[in-house]
Structure 1
Amino acid sequence: MSQADLSTSFRAEFDANSQEFCLAGVIRPRSIEEIAPGVSMLKEAIDEVRGVLYINVRRLVQMNNTAFHAFVRVVLDACRTRSDLRFVVVTSSVVGWTTRMFGHLNRIEPQITVEVYDSTFYPGQSFVENTSFIPILRTQTKMTWRHERTILPRHGMRAGIAMADICCGIGDFAVLVQKEFQPARIVALDHSKASLAYARDVAAGFGITDIEYTYGDASEMLLDDNQFDFVSCRHSLQIFNRSDMLLAELYRICKPGGRVYITNEKNSHCLGEPRSQSIQWTYNEVAKLFSHFEMDVELGPKSRRYLADAGFDDIVVESFMVTNLDGDPQDFADVITAWEKVYAGEMAVKRGDSPEFIQRFRQGFKDHIFAALHPKGYAGWPIWVASGRKPL
């Protein structure tokens, strides 16, 4: 990989293995001469590649017209001299102006394609960034917080720290942390605009105004390196099909000596009694269903390996069981009802499952609800908690 640091705020890189040229940061030159090394790198990349050159601008925060025309001119000239070469410009909805600025290129030059990376950037996105997930998330946090509030200090949570809650969802975890532990700063980032709007309403309802809710792509965050003492990412590695990318970003924004805290599930270990066989069958099928959409709701016990592979040390792992005895059993039943709606009503239908399968699938959820509400019943949902330290 070759790299040019054109200023403290702008970076150009070329990776020959992936045939990808990347622009990142702020690029606002007064003249083309100021960005000559980056323009030269793009020309060299074009000379070297065969087939497709990817131009990645997902982390390009700002770009003026001088820079835009300088880089685009190189690409358009290449289209006229290299009929064998195609260009794919990869933008992001997080930095929406890049799509608008580069979007017209494919209309004037058929060899150029513009793709919005995060419009469908993981297979399960349409399910988990749907507003139908909001009631699931709020009730789930209500139930898990009873456990996490005592667990968090063992994983580095304390007053006065700088914290980032990545994939924050509807923001209720950040609110609870702010009230309980009083970090000096909380940045809460998510890719769902609907969830963030809900999060801001939740914070306003609690009278909390100092949480920085931010729209962003967790795999390509526009956050500086080494700035947070504590980085949380709850129930998210299991739904993103490139967990290594996500962990690399969590590692990058964490300060040396700081900790990254993750929670994940093992859905096949959900249990209930009575009607345990039906319940067990359904949750085994839940794991298979998520796997079909490249999500891994069995990830919980794998957390230690994932953190170690990402470069963390001093890894701490523990688990807890959310049950119908933790509070109001109806809360547990409400979570299962919401799961049934999304898993059986949307995901199984999208996979193309038969009506007979879906009927049996639904029955397992109903039996889990029956166990949760039964006066002598027991229902459980296991969560794995893990954290790792970024080495000093």
Structure 2
Amino acid sequence: MIADTLVQTYKVSFDENNQELALSGSMRPEHGAEMEACIQLLERSIASIRGTFYINVKRLVRLNNVAFHALAGALLKAADERPDVRISIVTSSVIGWSTKKFGTLSAKNPRIAVEEYDSEFYPGQSFLEEGGFVPVLRTQTKLTWKHERSILPRHGLTPGATMADICCGIGDFAVLVAKEFAPSRIVALDHSKSSLAYARQVASEFDIGGIEYIYGDAAEMLLEDGQFDFVSCRHALQIFNKPEMIVDELVRICKPGGRVYVTNEKISQCLGEPRGPSIQWTYEQLSKLFADFDMDLEFGPKSYQALQKAGLEDIRIESFMVTNRDGDAQAFADMVMAWEEMFAGGMCEKRGDDAAFVEKFRRGFEDHIAAALHPGGYAGWPVWVASGRKPQ
């Protein structure tokens, strides 16, 4: 969940997924009372988190003494009252004064740290930089979580359940489930050691306990039969050339009567206006590009049949559209920008596409970004959800 308050010439927002309060614009109030809404959101945000709380001031271009004293007072009070919380203020060398100004708080309380951000990634980051793909995965989860948090109970996830998240990637979905549903046990498995290392780091910094991170092959897991009430596998079947092998494993580790839950895409149905034809062409080509690497980004609607063939019962399937109108148009645009670099860059180069194709391919992504940010534009990314019950 993201809460936003627009106050005069600055914006303050809280991102629950990243445990980050972001301040941007120009904060120059004449009286402390003008900071009341901002301070109230800050206090509510800190009260709702555990572990590390991030204050992102990278885009805060001006801050007068009235605003600084209000923020400093609230942060020092929080650091005194919440010894279990670490406060990290993320500054930028581009805004030269911010590191020095906020650095004075570290001297007053060592649980307040100042981190000058340039190109290195940190867990509070919500956009892609320097070609890394971790941030865009976090952004995707942030965008889909707004839908999935209400969808999951319809597909059988209940508080206190035992859960396995297979192909967990960077682990942010498992963290959100832990916060929202408090499963009695969560096992998160992935074949990427670097992703698991990142997932463990985030869980530690956000003080999320009880998630067991396991290195393993989703098609041949070293987990015993029938352990879990709920087994999830998100955006993964579509990137394996033999998804049925993974589905069989998901079913195997699920308890009789438990449910297997999967999400996948039908990427050719990404849409946007204005410039709809260009956008449609690019995503149709993206589907073909993945097919050339034995991956199926059209798998979403096929999930029903895949679960049916695996012997599951009471199969439920639905879809939702992630859009720029969900409340964070910039995050949607950042996600598409990262797709462009990953797919029109590395994958097209590996396939050997010529310059004319790549230019046209990129144009569709850029038109999708423009649609997302256009005041009257609409941009969408469709996701399919399916689940089935393992027979007793």
TM range (shorter): 0.5 to 0.7
Matches within 5 A, 1:339-354: 339-354=339-354
Q: Secondary structure at the match of 2:375?
A: coil
In the alignment, what sits opposite 2:141?
Answer: 141
Structure 1: gaps spanning 5 or more residues? 1-130
Displacement of 1:209: 1.9
Question: 2:240 matched to 1:240?
Answer: yes
In the alignment, what sits opposite 1:190?
Answer: 190
Distance, in Å, in 2 between the alignment partners of 1:222 and 1:179 is 27
1:135–1:338 contact (8 Å) kept in structure 2 = no
Displacement of 1:194: 1.0
Distance, in Å, in 2 between the alignment partners of 1:146 and 1:219 is 29
Displacement of 1:206: 1.6
Distance, in Å, in 1 between the alignment partners of 2:206 and 2:223 is 26
In the alignment, what sits opposite 2:155?
Answer: 155
Question: 2:372 matched to 1:377?
Answer: no
Distance, in Å, in 1 between the alignment partners of 2:260 and 2:136 is 24
Q: What does the per-residue CA deviation read over 1:116-174, in whole Å, with 9 as the maximum and x for residues that have no partner?
A: xxxxxxxxxxxxxxx83312210000000000000000001011111000000000000
Q: Secondary structure at the match of 1:259?
A: strand
The letter for the 2-side match of 1:268 is S
Distance, in Å, in 1 between the alignment partners of 2:318 and 2:354 is 38
Q: Secondary structure at the match of 1:229?
A: strand
Structure 2: gaps spanning 5 or more residues? 1-130
In the alignment, what sits opposite 2:357?
Answer: 357
1:155–1:259 contact (8 Å) kept in structure 2 = yes
Q: Secondary structure at the match of 1:383?
A: strand
Matches within 5 A, 1:79-94: none
Distance, in Å, in 2 between the alignment partners of 1:336 and 1:176 is 23
Matches within 5 A, 1:1-392: 132-392=132-392
Distance, in Å, in 2 between the alignment partners of 1:234 and 1:202 is 19
Distance, in Å, in 2 between the alignment partners of 1:132 and 1:303 is 29
1:308–1:315 contact (8 Å) kept in structure 2 = yes
Displacement of 1:331: 0.2
The letter for the 2-side match of 1:203 is A
Distance, in Å, in 1 between the alignment partners of 2:133 and 2:249 is 25
The letter for the 1-side match of 2:134 is I
Distance, in Å, in 2 between the alignment partners of 1:311 and 1:132 is 39
Displacement of 1:205: 2.2
* Matched positions, count: 262
The letter for the 2-side match of 1:237 is L
Deviation beyond 3 Å, 4+ runs, structure 1: none
The letter for the 2-side match of 1:318 is E
In the alignment, what sits opposite 1:123?
Answer: none
Q: What does the per-residue CA deviation read over 1:239-297, in whole Å, with 9 as the maximum and x for residues that have no partner?
A: 01110110110010000000000000000000000000100000000000000000000
- State percent identity of aligned pairs: 69
Q: Secondary structure at the match of 1:132?
A: coil
Distance, in Å, in 1 between the alignment partners of 2:157 and 2:248 is 21
The letter for the 2-side match of 1:295 is M
The letter for the 2-side match of 1:353 is D
Q: Secondary structure at the match of 2:326?
A: coil
The letter for the 2-side match of 1:218 is A
Distance, in Å, in 2 between the alignment partners of 1:333 and 1:155 is 30
TM normalised by structure 1 equals: 0.66
Displacement of 1:231: 0.1
The letter for the 2-side match of 1:334 is D
In the alignment, what sits opposite 2:125?
Answer: none
The letter for the 2-side match of 1:174 is A
Displacement of 1:211: 0.3
Displacement of 1:210: 1.1
* Greater Rg over alpha carbons, structure: 1
The letter for the 1-side match of 2:204 is A
Displacement of 1:315: 0.1
Q: What does the per-residue CA deviation read over 1:282-323, in whole Å, with 9 as the maximum and x for residues that have no partner?
A: 000000000000000000011110100111110000000000
The letter for the 1-side match of 2:389 is R
Distance, in Å, in 1 between the alignment partners of 2:298 and 2:308 is 18
